[in-house]
Amino acid sequence: MKVEFSAAQIAALLGGKVEGDPEAKVWNVARIEDGAPGMLSFLSNPKYIPYLYNTKSTIVLVNEDFEATETVTTTMIRVKNAYESFAQLLAIYQEYTNNKEGISENAFISADAEYGEACYIGEFAYIGERVKIGNNVKIYPLCYIGDDAVIGDNTVLYAGVKLYAMTHVGKECIIHSGAVLGADGFGFVPQPDGTYKKIPQIGNVLVGDNVEIGANTTIDRSTIESTKIHNGVKLDNLIQIAHNVEVGENTAMAAQTGIAGSAHVGKNCVIAGQVGVSGHLTIADRTIIGPQSGLTKGVSEPGKSIMGSPAYDYPKYMKDIVRQRSIDKLESRIVELEKKLNELLSK
């Protein structure tokens, strides 16, 4: 379905000012360098300014203080911050296109489950016993919601999400396809005969408000008490959060990161891709961890940047990398010095 928006409508939504044709219409978005008729683009980074003068996009968002040095043939909308306004438009469009409501006849909902107003529950979704679902929740097809789970208002579960029993998800959350919350933690006791005895995992997973969880990410239930993902956390695809882990508010993690059991990650941390965190460590607030790092000890100082495996102070790590790249030159110098020394000794 093609939905068109005029420059005047977009400017009204964003509090912007139109320069050009207020009736110019767009129905999709494109990068400014790849623009085409009917496309909306934005200009934020100064290095892309040259593209503005020959873009084929019908409308371009620009910062309100932008000064053109050549003729602009496309319609511009001046806004306070073009990048933020573009993101705001995408959010409005997504809300419009994803505004599903209604309960599928093919969904299974237990008799004692509760759900609020304006909910969507898609085909072949399973809603277990005593589940509580808030208002305007979207549960896409083939989702599984285990017994005693709780889902807050305005949360979206995309197709194939699995919430095990007693999992609690807050308000305004987005959980992408294939994510599994509440599977058993990896707890086993080695036996004298070399086998393993499973430790029952009887806790749950608690997810705060405004959390986003990527596709195929897994968060294990705790052995006892709760695995906790606090408000505002953003988890990428393919992340593993083990049992009894706690992730502080507004922390972001990139793909393929793994947090081992009982680790505590502070608030406002940034963790890059393929990072491994050993169990029972504490990472201070505002820590930044570079890609492919491995943490074998905790971080006690807030706001520190670290990298490497084992991870250590980022500035020192970068200096060490420079030194490593100079090893061949150093080896050549040492060989030359040894040669000269041997010549002197022979005399």
Active site (catalytic) residues: 243
Handedness of CA 285, 287, 293, 294 (dihedral sign): negative
Q: Provide the 3-class DSSP secondary structure of residue 181.
A: strand
Share in percent of the chain as helix, strand, coil (round to 5): 20, 30, 50
User: What's the start-to-end Cα distance of the chain, in Å?
Assistant: 90
- List, in order, residues 6 or more apart from 261 with CB less than 8 Å away: 185, 186, 187, 242, 243, 244, 245, 279, 280
Residues 92-131 as b or e (16 or more Cβ within 10 Å = b): ebeeeeeeeeeeeeebebeeebebeeebbbbeebbbbeeb
Backbone angles phi, psi at 130, to 5 degrees: 60, 20
